[in-house]
Amino acid sequence: MKSFAHPLRLRLYELLEELGPSTATQLAARVRENTGSTSYHLRELAKHGMIEIAEGMGRGKEKYWRITPGGFGYGSPEDSGDPEALGVIRVLLQDLVRQRGAELQRWLDEEPHTPREWVEAGGLSRRSLWLTRQESLALRDAVLEVIEPYRALSEARGADHPDSARVIVHFDVFPAGLSDTAGG
């Protein structure tokens, strides 16, 4: 997680996730940074296994970078035991919430102009359930198990399939109202 300690690295990762394999030069133009800075941060992400060189793309010294297959999870901030890592994870979680809000707003803006068949293939929902801790764990694991084959299919196919579109799946499971400060 410390590889995301710099906000530019997090943004580069997001862009690679959104755009697919890209060069440092292409990404530099998107983030309005120089290519040297972008290259440095891409190498740092690669050093920590977050991204890798997309083999078979580019010519000469030109490198295309891509997200490492399989993705990653944020985990619980308290799991780290390292105060510095805890701070980094908290920043990442705040950015995750920001990114999700931006993605949902983008969908609301795009939906009226999106082909009907794609609108019908999507869906937003929210459920509030009364579950035990074990039931919550089982629910989380079951949904992730359902998503996994589609993640693998997506990675194997890539963005070039003519009938595919980038589909964003948000999934959260968290208890509400259990903290010492909940409810006043």
Residue 75 has pLDDT above 60, yes or no: no
Alpha-helical (H) ranges within the chain are 7-19, 24-31, 35-47, 83-110, 116-121, 133-157
d(CA 20, CA 13) in angstroms, rounded, equals: 10
pLDDT digits (tens, 9 = 90+) for 13-68: 888 988 889 999 999 999 999 999 999 999 999 998 889 998 888 888 889 999 88
pLDDT band at 137 (very low <50, low <70, confident <90, very high): very high
- Tokens encoding 162: 């003519």
pTM over 0.75: no
Q: Which residues pair with 52 in a beta bridge?
A: 66
